[in-house]
Amino acid sequence: WSLTSLKLLVGREKVARAVLMRSRTLLLATSAFSLSLVSAFPTPALSALSTRSSASSTRSSITGLEMAARLPKLVAFDLDATLWYPEMYQLWGGGAPFKPNKDGTLSDKSGTRCYLMGASAKILSHLRTDPQWKDTKVAYVSCTDEPDWAEECMDLFRAGSLSLQQTVDIKEIYKANKNKHFQSLHKKTGIPYEDMIFFDNENHNCVNVQPLGVTCIYTPKGMTQEAWEQGLAKHAKAEVSAR
């Protein structure tokens, strides 16, 4: 070994010892800090912290219950490109009769497949089977170009064990400004506009209906779970603001 190599080796050993000593010092300091925390927060204090955490959870639960108490009395859905896709006019050249497929889709006479969008089936089934929605009416509000084809699709599409026909209470399916559809719904049901919520993939329909006081949710991606939750939250917030 050369003298230079030996000096280098000794230097490295000194650095290693210094690093080791510093690590031990930090470890001791950390242990001391942990002990000080235990001393600062004895069992009663920790119990108080736990109680505050439980209270926070309770407040969250109450908020959820309050939101449930403000559920809309009428939930309305557009059909084309909100509950299903393609839109009926996009099936021109095919269309009825439709045939159900094993995967839950439908095929028109030209072989084009139609499917329920997003969480449509789950949401419609939930509205009909969950007891908290027993006092809420479901409406289909559409200006579809082919209402007869839409009726057949409602017969064949499934939402759990139910057809889409079995999940709806009222249908307003005709060409008109959708403001008129909701005036008709209000007249038939007596439900205030403020107790209605409406999902539609065309923003201009939301713009036309919203002045009545209906909570409107624009759904460019169809009836997704996110849109559903957004709608319920928006409606609950509007209810609170109105009080």
Residue 169 among the catalytic residues: no
Helix (H) or strand (E) holding 155: helix 147-156
Residue 78 among the catalytic residues: yes
Which candidate, 215, 128, 195, 119, places its Cα nearest to that of 168? 128
CB burial string 8-47: b at 16+ within 10 A, e below:
eeeeeeeeeeeeeeeeeeeeeeeeeeeeeeeeeeeeeeee
Catalytic residue among 80, 108, 195, 200: 80
Q: For 201-240, list the strands marked E by DSSP.
A: 215-218
Q: Yes or no: say if 97 and 84 are a contact pair by the CB < 8 Å rule.
A: no
Token couple for 238 = 């509007």
> How many residues would you count in the chain?
243
Catalytic residues: 78, 80
